[in-house]
């Protein structure tokens, strides 16, 4: 690992930890993503995390708030720009939507049910994003 990569890992660690502390499992390699997707049954919430301000101030807080109301079967995250191969592998499972980070995917048995791209996060109040995601999760988890 070069000095830049090491520096960036240290910078993003609190951004990673925020979701891990909320119960998310980080998937950092393509193998981890493929293994998860091969075995994920039920409803999965996938957060494509990033270093941008809308991830820090909107996406991560909204996700933490929403899962306080409705918790799906699985909580996983990949980190765009950091774990590139893992992120590309995850995105390949819902390649019908353009790459976007941060973004939030709701899957059922590994199949995309709902996707919230960056443009539905950036510029929106955290409460609106929380309510949107909580509504999606409630509907998905009640099926």
Q: Kindly state the helix (H) or strand (E) to which residue 47 belongs, with its residue range.
A: strand 43-49
Q: Clarify whether 141 is annotated catalytic.
A: no
Distances (CA, A) of 62 to 16, 86, 98, 102, 133: 15, 23, 21, 12, 8
d(CA 54, CA 104): 13
Q: What is the helix, strand, coil percentage profile of the chain, to 5? A: 50, 20, 30
Angle, nearest 10°, between helix axes 3-21 and 60-69? 20
Q: Clarify whether 52 is annotated catalytic.
A: yes
Catalytic residue among 40, 52, 62, 136: 52
Catalytic residue among 19, 54, 76, 129: 54
Residues taking part in catalysis: 52, 54
């Amino acid at each position: 690992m070069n000095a830049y990569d090491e520096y960036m890992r240290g910078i993003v660690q609190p951004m990673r930890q925020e979701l891990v502390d909320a119960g998310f499992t980080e998937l950092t390699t393509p193998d981890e993503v493929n293994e998860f997707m091969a075995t994920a049954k039920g409803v999965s919430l996938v957060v494509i995390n990033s270093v941008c301000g809308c991830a820090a101030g909107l996406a991560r807080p909204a996700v933490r708030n929403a899962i306080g109301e409705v918790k799906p079967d699985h909580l996983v995250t990949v980190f765009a720009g950091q774990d590139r191969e893992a992120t590309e592998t995850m995105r390949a499972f819902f390649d019908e939507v353009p790459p976007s980070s941060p973004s939030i995917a709701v899957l059922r048995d590994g199949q995309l049910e709902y996707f919230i791209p960056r443009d539905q996060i950036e510029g929106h109040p955290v409460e609106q994003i929380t309510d949107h995601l909580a509504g999606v999760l409630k509907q998905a988890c009640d099926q």
